Amino acid sequence: MRPLIGITAGEVRDATRPDSITVQGQGYTYIDAIVRAGGLPIILPITTNKIVLRQIYERVDGLLLAGGNDLNPKLYREKAYPTTTDFSDERDATEIQLAKWALEEPKSILAICRGMQLINVLHGGTLYQELSVDLPTASDHMVSTKLKNNFHLAHELIIEPSSRLVKILGATKVYANSHHHQAIKKLGKDLIVSAKTVDGVIEAIEGTHQSYLIGVQAHPESLEKEVEPRWQKMFASFVEAASQ
């Protein structure tokens, strides 16, 4: 049997229909990347019922913390900027609980975009709420979103030679898209920075312990099929680690 990879759900709202019920779901790209990497993808629902969540958690072999909306800044003891919007306390609470269990056990974790920010906050780190305000020297990290292009190669990541990521990808530089207006400010405890862009923005992190914990700020699940296939190795390494 292939390992079962739980992908956290996002919330999708139909703004044109105020009466519509919020949908839980996740993009095809995450599902397809896990299928290609040899895993069995399953979308984990947002629920505040801890017993239900725990029983779902126990069935999965690996946890993929997906991208999405901003985290509630109260999680890192800050008030929300006007541009920090659309946060969901239910989604935050669900993912924090899943990540805590997976870190304790440990189970393999791959954390993408918002997921990487959540891992950092969970380790006591903080975020720049708005890069254009808090780090004006940085390049535009919303460039791929503005171009409406998930396959856009926005910038090169410079990968730390001693990192796990460099061994996995077999490269010290790799291209990525950029869909984030927030980024890691203070790095959390027991984490290392494994990649940055030339402007100093943290683009990947990993855990210092033996267990598999990798976070990336970009959306490599949109690139791994053909645009930057080196990212396939990261998904494959995650699925492989989850199968152990």
Is 221 known to be catalytic?
Answer: yes
Q: Which residues from 12-71 bind Mn ion, rule CB under 5 A?
A: none
Residue with tokens 């292939």: 2
Residue 202 or 239 having the CB closest to Mn ion? 202
178: contact with Mn ion by CB under 5 A: yes
Residue 5 or 65 having the CB closest to Mn ion? 65
Output the smallest distance, CB 22 to Mn ion, in A.
Answer: 28
Rounded to the nearest angstrom, the gap between the alpha carbon of residue 49 and the centroid of all alpha carbons in its chain is 23
Contact 118, 65 (CB under 8 A): yes
Beta-strand relationship, 4-8 and 191-196: unpaired
Residue 91 or 141 having the CB closest to Mn ion? 141
* b/e sequence 60-82, b meaning 16+ C-beta within 10 Å: bbbbbbbbbebbbbebbeeeebe
145: contact with Mn ion by CB under 5 A: no
Q: Which residues from 79-118 bind Mn ion, rule CB under 5 A?
A: none
Q: Which residue is nearest to Mn ion (CB)?
A: 178
141: contact with Mn ion by CB under 5 A: yes
* b/e sequence 89-120, b meaning 16+ C-beta within 10 Å: eebbbbbbbbbebbbeeebbbbbbbbbbbbbb
Catalytic residue among 95, 203, 221, 228: 221
Catalytic residue among 141, 152, 155, 219: 219
The helix or strand, by DSSP H or E, that contains position 239, with its residue range, turns out to be: helix 232-242
Burial of 241 (0-12, 13-18, 19+ CB in 10 A): buried
222: contact with Mn ion by CB under 5 A: no
Query: What three-state secondary structure class fits 73?
Result: helix
Single out the segment in contact with Mn ion by CB under 5 A; choices: 22-30, 55-63, 177-185, 188-196. 177-185
Output the smallest distance, CB 126 to Mn ion, in A.
Answer: 18
Residue 141 or 164 having the CB closest to Mn ion? 141
155 forms beta bridges with: 176
Output the smallest distance, CB 76 to Mn ion, in A.
Answer: 19
Is 90 known to be catalytic?
Answer: no
φ, ψ (nearest 5 deg) of residue 172: -100, -10
Catalytic residue among 113, 152, 155, 206: 113
Residue 60 or 119 having the CB closest to Mn ion? 119
Is 180 known to be catalytic?
Answer: no
Single out the segment in contact with Mn ion by CB under 5 A; choices: 11-19, 34-42, 105-113, 176-184. 176-184
Q: Kindly report the number of other CB atoms within 10 A of residue 177's CB atom.
A: 24
Report how many residues bind Mn ion under the rule CB under 5 A.
Answer: 2
Active site (catalytic) residues: 113, 219, 221
> Which residues contribute to the site for Mn ion (CB under 5 A)?
141, 178
